[in-house]
Amino acid sequence: MGYVCFCTLNISDRLIFCHPVNGYRIMHHTGIEKVLYGVEDLNAAKKFWRDFGLSCVAEKDDLAVFSVKNGATIEVRPYGDPSLPPAACSETKSTVREVTFGVRSNEDLLALKEKLASLGEVTVDDAGVIHAFDPLGFGMAFRVASCETIETAKIEANVPGNTQRLNQRGQKFHKASPLIMSHIVYMTDDLETQKDFYADFLGFKLTDSYPGRGYFLRCADANNHHNVFLLDPGKGQRGFHHLAFELGSIHELFGGGNNMTRNGWETMIGPGRHPVSSCYFWYFKNPCGGAAEYDFDSDVVDDNWKPQEWESTPENFAEWCLGEGMGASLLPSTIQQG
């Protein structure tokens, strides 16, 4: 499969992204369908995703595929696999190589192929998935959406004056079962160029921002607060930061986080709560690269949402949080085991 990296173009010439969707079909992308990793330690990668709560749907010596509840998948391969697209940053062996977004129809896919081809080479694989790169060299793909709509039970929480759970104990979770993959986060050293590409060229919608530091963007037909977050850490860094998964309750977030901790996985940050997007979170360092984030109760938005500009402060990153999880030595199961 041939790949052409758009970062070989003159990305400082932002004019190439300054013609919005005018003249092209409006894009109907729907969200993240698949994330492909190249990894240094395939066995560690497999254990991580199992412990994280994903279902293994395919496994070979040089490949494993895991699924979340709506059918979106994680695929992990050895980092030297020649079929993998090149990484945007070669400093780490384990990282994301490509993200696949869904679109509504074949017509969307063809229009997108034509649009991306105006910038450089686009390849199409045997399954009809189109592959390209964003301006900074992050692999991206598009296919007709195949993930299912998730239906979940009503959350039963007791509030004085509103009893939803009478004579019934609250739920406890031994581990998590993520429902969907909601967003991916990139560190970027050319924030405005990358934002222009996703927003103006691809038609992603801006939902919130840290002006000059970060942009939250959602696929045009998605209702997630963001599917892509572009973050400029201000240190010239370029690379994958984390991938987020939505859970069904705060109880599941604590149960999933405790299970990861019991299994020896290290918290990056959490549990805590983000003011932007409103969700509870818990991030774990991932042997596949970056982190994997459990989320619960994220904002759901449509075109009536009013984007807000946020000051880039620690308080606006986390309303509150723990830095290193809740402490493995304090977990009940650890105490029982002595």
181 part of the interface to Fe ion, by CB under 5 A: no
| Nearest-approach distance from CB 31 to Fe ion, in angstroms | 14
Measure the CA–CA gap between 38 and 81, rounded to whole angstroms.
Answer: 8
Stretch that binds Fe ion, among 101-109, 236-244, 254-262, 312-320 (CB under 5 A): 236-244
Per-residue binding letters, 66-105, with Fe ion (x by CB under 5 A): ----------------------------------------
Shortest Å distance, C-beta 113 to Fe ion:
29
Name residues whose C-beta falls within 8 Å of residue 223's C-beta, 6 or more positions apart in sequence.
300, 301, 302
Say if residues 256 and 294 touch (Cβ distance below 8 Å).
Answer: yes
DSSP for 146-183, written as a single string: -PPPP--PPP---BTTB---TT-PPP--SS----EEEE
Candidates 70-78, 127-135, 147-155, 242-250: pick the segment binding Fe ion (CB under 5 A).
242-250
Q: Which residue is nearest to Fe ion (CB)?
A: 244
Subset of residues 193 to 232 that bind Fe ion, contact rule: CB under 5 A: none
CA distance 133 to 88: 9
Residue (of 29, 5, 25, 12) closest to 198 by Cα position? 29
CB of 336 to Fe ion, least distance (A): 33
The whole-angstrom separation of Cα 205 and Cα 202 is 9
Total number of residues that touch Fe ion (CB under 5 A): 2
Give me the least distance between CB of 2 and Fe ion, in Å please. Answer: 32
Choosing from 42, 76, 244, 292, the residue that interacts with Fe ion (CB under 5 A) is 244
Q: Which of residues 255-314 bind Fe ion (CB under 5 A)?
A: 293
**Calpha distance 243→241 (Å, rounded):** 7
Task: State the residues that interact with Fe ion by CB under 5 A.
Answer: 244, 293
